[in-house]
């Protein structure tokens, strides 16, 4: 399987008038190329890079609930405690401005969380701050003692939240809880079994944490006490966690490991790419999203049973956080100041369409074979074009699977149109 490079859909053209397609094929090809440059993906799905105005590592992102315009991001110049930055967008991630620090420098930030468009918190190296005016002003707060890093921060609602911290001395890790919207914080009673890398709410009382030695811990009393429910390989790490409710969640580990549970952590199912570190996780309905190394993004449409690559990134950056606006669009942030805006990633926009969510494509570099599998419609026609728009191959099919030997093609990127039931979608693959 190491020789198989899974290629996800690059665009969905959704052409309903096949006469128009036939009469304007040249315009179509140039449109495909232009759309690829803009990273338009799938059935009404788009992934577009946005200019954040910084090259800092954006470790975290917060989109306040119930609105479609305001977003915040925070991060660090380098991976260790250096300079920090806070950004704000008021146009759904299209443009960004630096809101902190406005002069001089600040310690690095790890997490940011807004409970409304105006009220939020930011956590980092020996610094925890609060704003109540949308980031115009910030007030430092003392949450714990002997803290050198506040590394996790989350609110279940406007009142209930937690922050975790790495301490200078024993017990070296602490969790602080609030029930009054962050005005006061109380140390959790027993966190000895908690994982220190990431903590996630499943519901108001149920939280999961992950950390070193592939530890998973669970709290059923709002984060006050913890029990270890899973441990794996010593010196391996679980990196992040996301739970949509007390039963269903996903945990990311090293080497592209994604573990899903549907019974509150009693049992787990595994998928691994063997390569990525997935920090950015999201879970809605039966669909999951995971973003990680090389800016690659994977999706599961079946509650974590199967995964496929939905976005092929720039081979350079690491993704760290995914957040959604009320309308279902969202943002992903990562290293190098990267911001990706997406729309309609999860299914449900239109019925009876031949969508790339129905397609899985891959290229086998050993056999030099490009293959397509359709989950629903039979594949009728396949056309292949090189990156300059030159038509290099046409095929017919009457099956849900398609294979083409492309050994005679020059190495490079190819664009593929797939026709079924009078509708067309597009893919791309890298022949090497």
> What digits encode the pLDDT tens for the residues 224-236?
999 999 999 999 9
Question: Is there a contact between 423 and 16 (Cβ–Cβ < 8 Å)?
Answer: yes
Last residue of a domain, one of 343, 367, 383: 343
Q: Are residues 389 and 311 in the same domain?
A: no
Q: Are residues 142 and 218 in the same domain?
A: yes
Q: Are residues 52 and 35 in the same domain?
A: no
Q: Are residues 155 and 128 in the same domain?
A: yes
Which CATH number covers residue 39? 2.60.40.3080
Q: Residues 263-291: what's their mean pLDDT?
A: 94
Q: Quick one: residue 407, left, alpha or beta (phi over 0 = left, psi -120 to 50 = alpha)?
A: alpha
Last residue of a domain, one of 343, 374, 401: 343
Domain assignment of residue 366, given as a range? 4-43+358-431
Whole-model pTM above 0.75? no
Q: Are residues 96 and 72 in the same domain?
A: yes
Q: Are residues 366 and 382 in the same domain?
A: yes
Question: Is there a contact between 76 and 109 (Cβ–Cβ < 8 Å)?
Answer: yes
Residues 6+ away with beta carbon under 8 Å from 385: 29, 32, 391, 392, 414, 415, 416, 417
Please report whether residue 413 resides in a domain. Answer: yes
Last residue of a domain, one of 309, 343, 377: 343
Q: Are residues 290 and 230 in the same domain?
A: yes
**3-state DSSP helix/strand/coil % of the chain, to nearest 5:** 5, 45, 45
What does the alpha-carbon distance between residue 165 and residue 199 come to, in Å, rounded to a whole number?
Answer: 11
Higher pLDDT, 6 or 113: 113
> What digits encode the pLDDT tens for the residues 77-120?
998 889 999 999 999 999 999 999 999 999 999 999 999 999 99
Please report whether residue 348 resides in a domain. Answer: no
Please report whether residue 349 resides in a domain. Answer: no
- What's the number of domains the chain is made of? 2
Q: Are residues 183 and 326 in the same domain?
A: yes
Model confidence band, residue 377 (pLDDT cutoffs 50, 70, 90): confident
Please report whether residue 350 resides in a domain. Answer: no
Question: Is there a contact between 371 and 362 (Cβ–Cβ < 8 Å)?
Answer: yes
Q: How far is CA 90 from the centre of its chain?
A: 21
Q: Are residues 75 and 115 in the same domain?
A: yes
User: Is residue 249's pLDDT more than 90?
Assistant: yes
What does the alpha-carbon distance between residue 202 and residue 430 come to, in Å, rounded to a whole number?
Answer: 39
What does the alpha-carbon distance between residue 288 and residue 38 come to, in Å, rounded to a whole number?
Answer: 24
Question: Is there a contact between 342 and 45 (Cβ–Cβ < 8 Å)?
Answer: yes
What does the alpha-carbon distance between residue 231 and residue 216 come to, in Å, rounded to a whole number?
Answer: 6
Which CATH number covers residue 291? 2.130.10.10
């Amino acid at each position: 399987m190491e020789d198989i490079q899974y290629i996800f859909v690059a665009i969905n053209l959704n052409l309903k008038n096949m006469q128009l397609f036939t009469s304007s094929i040249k315009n179509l090809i140039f449109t495909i190329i232009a759309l690829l440059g803009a990273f338009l993906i799938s059935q009404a799905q788009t992934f577009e890079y946005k200019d954040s105005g910084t090259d800092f590592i954006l470790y975290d992102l917060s989109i306040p609930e119930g609105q479609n315009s305001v977003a915040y991001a925070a991060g660090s110049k380098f991976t260790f405690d250096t300079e920090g930055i806070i950004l704000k967008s008021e146009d759904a991630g299209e443009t960004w401005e630096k809101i902190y620090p406005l002069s001089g420098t600040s310690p690095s930030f790890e997490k940011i969380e807004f409970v409304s468009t105006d009220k939020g918190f930011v956590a980092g190296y020996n610094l925890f701050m609060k704003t109540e005016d949308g980031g115009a002003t910030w007030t430092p707060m003392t949450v714990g003692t002997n803290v050198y890093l506040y590394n996790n921060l989350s609110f279940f609602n406007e009142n209930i939240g937690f922050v975790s911290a790495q301490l200078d001395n024993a017990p070296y890790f602490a969790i602080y809880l609030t029930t009054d919207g962050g005005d006061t914080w109380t140390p959790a009673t027993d966190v000895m079994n908690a994982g220190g890398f990431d903590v996630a709410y499943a519901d108001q009382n149920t939280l999961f944490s992950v950390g070193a030695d592939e530890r998973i811990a669970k709290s059923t009393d709002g984060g006050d006490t913890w029990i270890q429910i899973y441990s794996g390989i010593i010196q391996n790490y679980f990196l992040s966690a996301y739970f949509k409710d007390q039963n269903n969640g996903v945990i990311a580990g090293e080497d592209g490991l994604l573990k899903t549970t549907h019974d509150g952590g009693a049992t787990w199912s595994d998928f691994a790419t063997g390569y990525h570190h997935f920090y950015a996780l999201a879970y809605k309905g039966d669909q999951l999203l995971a973003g990680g190394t090389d800016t690659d993004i994977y999706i599961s449409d079946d509650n974590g049973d199967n995964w496929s690559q939905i976005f092929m990134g720039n081979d350079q950056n690491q993704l760290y956080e995914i957040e959604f606006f009320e309308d279902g669009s969202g943002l992903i942030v990562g290293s190098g100041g990267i911001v990706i805006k997406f729309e309609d990633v999860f299914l449900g926009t239109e019925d009876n369409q031949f969508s790339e969510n129905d397609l899985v494509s891959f290229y086998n570099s050993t056999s030099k074979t490009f293959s397509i599998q359709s989950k629903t419609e039979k594949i009728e026609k396949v056309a292949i074009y090189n990156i300059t728009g030159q038509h290099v191959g046409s095929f017919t099919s009457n099956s849900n699977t398609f294979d083409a030997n492309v050994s005679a093609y020059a190495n490079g990127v190819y664009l593929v149109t797939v026709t079924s039931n009078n509708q067309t979608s597009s893919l791309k693959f890298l022949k090497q």
